[in-house]
Amino acid sequence: MLSCGLEEILYISYIPDGIINDNTSARIWLPSSSAEGYSNDFTHFEIYYRIYISGEPFSGEINTSALRRQINATLDSDFQGLFNLTDKTNTSVNPSNLDTTFSNRRFFKLTLEESNIDNVLGRGSLGRTLDIQFPPNSGVRPVLMLGGGTATYTYTGIAGGQTYTLEITQNSYKLTVELTNGSKKSSTGTVENDIDGLYTLKPLNSNETFTATVSRNGLTELNGKITWTDNSQEDAPGALTGGTYTGPATYTYTGILSRQTYTLKITPGSSQDSYELTVGAKKSTGTVVETDINGVLTLKPLNSNETFTATVSRNGLAELDGTITWTDGTQEAAPSADNTYTLRRAVSGPSIIFKPVPDNLYFLNHADLFATENATNDINADVAINSQNIPESPRYTYVSMYIFAIGRDYLTTIYSQPTHLGIFRLAEAN
């Protein structure tokens, strides 16, 4: 894309580093839809892995070069070779063709047993927690878990004939103003403080904060100096006017339940709030008849007297309970909150199709996995042999994982910087 003769730089912000628990699990917080590059261009996250044969059993976090070399010299070589891409202090890094970068180092794309991983880590995963768990118990298969969800609070207000819309998603914000000539500009960043409807907002491209005051009536005040994404600044308008209850404030919660993305929108009303629940092509609409202090909403469909409940928080839609009546008159039991997926190894990569022996597609330490002679393009292409003189038995295996975001703008593929998820030890197969 060209603008005034200059090529526009497309960008998706990186996934922040998470919390690693020894070498058995990791948790990261996936960016929300209001993070830079995720509102329009983002399509999904990808996780790449490589397995390493070792003669060393470690039980703690593997976070130094010495430990990595002690496990397998190739593990440290791969880590160091990718570090310039993962280094968040490196402001000049411009990731591109990451699929090829990882494939060239014999990393392969992670798969899941129950679902297509691109769908699981698609837009419905934004703003959620991602857990990778490698239990040390023999025979227990590692899993990926999605927790939480997203909650987006939208407030509008009018000043000087211009409409301002503020979206708050967890600890991020996006402020958009629609100018009188029909064009728009925006400011994005983080929520630094939230006290009784008074938000302190810090733009991504400035250290100067401004404040927004909100209520059920919408966006009522903007104060301070606003820095827009084009780096221009202007004084906030001060007081804003809203209108009726049917638009100034809406609350949108998403959650993945039974491996499907549900979206619940609550719109405040002058006498009673209304709701809209959607999943795929199905929709249920009605009124909120009760709200308790724990975030449990009792919902009554317009076409039924049978209510059901939804549990919500700033982390999104956590639970649905009861029988849901859809607008077409059909009914079904509310879905479960199980969002656990079994990790599976790849069976192919660029110009490579391989078949683990036996059909050992799970991340478990098995004789066929750590056998040096099986680390070939035909059998275990995702396994790195150990160049050191290690005994035939016992042997151990470890896996190193990276995650990055992918987006597309017309014909251009955009990548975030990759983030190292951690190095995990595989449990014994039996």
pLDDT in tens, 95-113: 889 999 999 999 999 999 9
Question: Which pLDDT band, with edges at 50, 70 and 90, does 18 fall under?
Answer: confident
Average pLDDT, the chain: 89
- Interatomic CA distance for residues 311 and 202, integer angstroms: 30
Single pTM value for the model: 0.69
**For the chain, domain boundaries:** 10-110+345-425, 150-239, 252-333
- 3-state SS assignment for residue 141: coil
5-9, 23-27, 163-167, 280-284: range with lowest mean pLDDT:
5-9
pLDDT score recorded for residue 9: 61
The string of pLDDT tens digits covering residues 311-348 is 988 778 888 999 999 999 999 999 877 778 999 999 99
Six-digit token pair at 37?
């590059």
Question: What is the average per-residue pLDDT within 162-171?
Answer: 86
- Interatomic CA distance for residues 401 and 73, integer angstroms: 16
Where is 120: in which H helix or E strand?
helix 117-120
Q: Are strands 42-54 and 383-384 parallel, antiparallel or unpaired?
A: parallel
Which pairs from 196-203 meet CB under 8 Å and 24+ separation? 199/166, 199/168, 199/173, 201/173, 201/175, 203/227, 203/228, 203/229
pLDDT score recorded for residue 234: 94
pLDDT score recorded for residue 148: 67
pLDDT score recorded for residue 244: 44
Instruction: Using the predicted structure, report yes or no on whether residue 114 has a pLDDT greater than 70.
Output: yes
Sign of the torsion angle spanned by Cα atoms 226, 228, 233, 238 = negative
Six-digit token pair at 19?
């919390």
pLDDT score recorded for residue 8: 53
Burial 313-329 (b: 16+ CB within 10 A, else e): ebbbbbbbeeebbbbee
Question: What is the average per-residue pLDDT within 371-397?
Answer: 93
Instruction: Using the predicted structure, report yes or no on whether residue 384 has a pLDDT greater than 80.
Output: yes
Six-digit token pair at 116?
């297509």
The string of pLDDT tens digits covering residues 179-222 is 878 889 999 988 998 888 899 999 989 999 999 999 888 899 99
Percentage of the residues of the chain whose pLDDT score is greater than 70: 95
Is residue 136 reached through a cis peptide bond, with omega within 30 degrees of 0 on the bond before it?
no
pLDDT score recorded for residue 6: 41
Is the domain spanning 150-239 CATH 2.40.128? The answer is yes
The string of pLDDT tens digits covering residues 240-276 is 886 444 455 788 988 888 878 899 999 988 788 999 9
Instruction: Using the predicted structure, report yes or no on whether residue 2 has a pLDDT greater than 60.
Output: no
pLDDT score recorded for residue 242: 67
Higher pLDDT, 221 or 1: 221
Question: Which pLDDT band, with edges at 50, 70 and 90, does 383 fall under?
Answer: very high
Sign of the torsion angle spanned by Cα atoms 88, 90, 91, 92 = negative
pLDDT score recorded for residue 363: 96
pLDDT score recorded for residue 4: 45
The string of pLDDT tens digits covering residues 31-80 is 888 788 888 889 999 999 999 999 999 988 999 999 999 999 999 999 99
SS3 for 158-212 is: EECCEEEEEEEECCEEEEEEECCCCCEEEEEEEEEEEECCEEEEEECCCCCCEEE
